[in-house]
Structure 1
Amino acid sequence: MTYCVALRLDSGLVFAADTRTNAGVDNIAQYRKLHFWRQPGDRVLVLLSAGNLAVTQSVVSNLNEQLASTDNSGGPTLFTVPSMYRAARLVGDAVRDVRRQDGAALEMSKAGFSASFILGGQIGTERPRLFQIYSEGNFIEATDDTPFLQIGEHKYGKPILDRVARPEMSLGEAAKLILLSFDSTLRSNLSVGMPIDILLYERDSLDARREKRIFQDDEYFKKLSTAWSDALRSAFANIEEFKI
């Protein structure tokens, strides 16, 4: 399984994804699920992926082949689309292309055709935008009312995001919040595992400069996890007991 989350802020975007992929308790591997493309000064696009690894890798490969092609017949690529909306449509089209190729065979198996993506970034002077793209190729966009999007094993990390996430948060606050949602998920679901890839995008920078892979022994993450556990125990102890 997978857990990926992204948060749209007034000041930019924050993305994070785990790296665990498993096909059973004795077949666990690590694969990168956070991908990004950039043309400094023009655009930055970040893609998070969850679902069938073969499907998601095919989608990413299709997008990369479009960029590498010397004979694209004028077709759009992530580096030529004029807006993030058009970029989301391009990813949706890539998902549909893979479904046309592999969908029938996968639907005959237990796994089925399973893939979902979060695409975010900024193109030119357009404000940063964030989309969730489904296995059918259609998508929704994050709003001020719901500034975060999640895919994969999201239920354990969602409650804290629902309570705390706000568009006016700083990038650092949002990164802290997202890592807390990962801490909750890691404690409750063994199919999500470290290391965690995280990327902070500063609005109008039009470059990806702040990216990190967080490993199990990361000092900040260990301190964050311990402090959050202590704070929860303290808050619980300070609430009056239920009595009948």
Structure 2
Amino acid sequence: MTYCVGLKLNRGLVFMSDTRTNAGVDNISVFRKMFLWQTEGERSITLMTAGNLATTQAVVSLLSERAKPADERGAPSILEAPSMFQVARLVGETLREVIAQQSGLDGPQADSPFSATLILGGQVRGGEPRLFMIYPEGNFVEASADTPFFQIGETKYGKPILIRAYDADMSFEEAVKLLMLSFDSTIKANLSVGLPLDLHLYQADSFRTGALRRIERDDVYFETISSGWGEALKEAFRQMPPYSLG
């Protein structure tokens, strides 16, 4: 299982992903699910993946191959697309292409064993930072003021805190704290999601890869957030008025 979140703020974009993959309780591995491309001063692109590992690795490999100089490739590049919308279109087409090849079908089906879902975000000079969720069929939707974040993978446990606490004006520090709480809730509820976590903070109009962090299992801040949130919930529960049976 996987859990990835892309969050759109007024100051930029925040990405966080876990690194756990499993094929049963006795076959757990660590694989990166966050990938970055940039042309410094011109664009920064971040992709997070959930679904069949062979599919997502093939998509990332193709995108990287096609990001090489024009004389070394034979397909359009996400480093040359004129807008983030066109980047999303290219990524969606690549995902559709890989699923079709692996499944032996003319087109992908959502319930294919080779299915995958992606979160794509970034900024191309001349446009604003944009965030997309890309489906196995290759189509996609864009984040908006009404839907300012996307989740893929095991989404249900970490969603309530995002809905309740998100603020478009929050700082990157507050956003990281919010995402850590979301991931902590998910990790506690589903053992197939786990640390280490990968984090990328993209500052709007910087047009380069921002702060990158890997949050390890012994991360002091994450442990503080996890234990403190548990105690805060217990205290909030105790302060709520009791139900009356009378």
Aligned residues: 241
Is 1:123 matched up with 2:144? Answer: no
Partner of 1:175: 176
Structure 1: how far apart are the matches of 2:124 and 2:232? Answer: 40
* 1:68 Cα deviation after fit: 2.3
Q: Does 1:93 align with 2:99?
A: no
CA shift for structure 1 position 125: 3.1
Could you tell me whether the CA contact under 8 Å between 2:65 and 2:73 is conserved in 1? Answer: no
- In the alignment, the residues of structure 2 paired with residue 174 and residue 145 of structure 1 have an alpha-carbon distance, to the nearest angstrom, of 17
Q: Give the drift of 1:111.
A: 6.6
Q: For residue 14 of structure 1, what is the aligned residue in structure 2? A: 14
In 2, Cα distance between equivalents of 1:40 and 1:47: 17
Structure 2 runs not aligned, ≥5 long:
none
The DSSP-based 3-state class of the residue aligned with 1:68 is coil
In 2, the alpha carbon distance for the partners of 1:30 and 1:72 equals 30
Q: Are residues 1:132 and 2:133 paired?
A: yes
Q: Which residue of 2 aligns with 1:155?
A: 156
Shift of 1:71: 4.2
Corresponding residue for residue 235 of structure 2: 234
Cα distance in 2 between the residues matched to 1:162 and 1:209: 25
Letter of the 1:56 partner, please give it.
T
The residue identity in structure 2 corresponding to 1:78 is I
Q: CA offset at residue 207 of structure 1? A: 1.2
Counterpart in the other structure of 2:204:
203
Matched, 1:184 2:185: yes
TM-score, normalised relative to structure 1: 0.95
Equivalent in the alignment of 1:43 = 43
**Contact 2:13-2:122 within 8 A present in 1 as well:** yes
Q: Which residue of structure 1 lines up, in the alignment, with residue 27 of structure 2?
A: 27
Which residue number in structure 1 is paired with residue 76 of structure 2?
76
TM-score by length of 2: 0.94
- Cα deviation for residue 172 of structure 1 reads 1.4
Residue type at the aligned position of 2:128: R
Percent identity, aligned pairs only? Answer: 51
| Unaligned runs of at least 5 residues, structure 1 | none
2:167 match: 166
The superposition leaves residues 47-93 of structure 1 with CA deviations (integer Å, 9 ceiling, x where unpaired) of 000000000001001101111252445x4211100110000001001
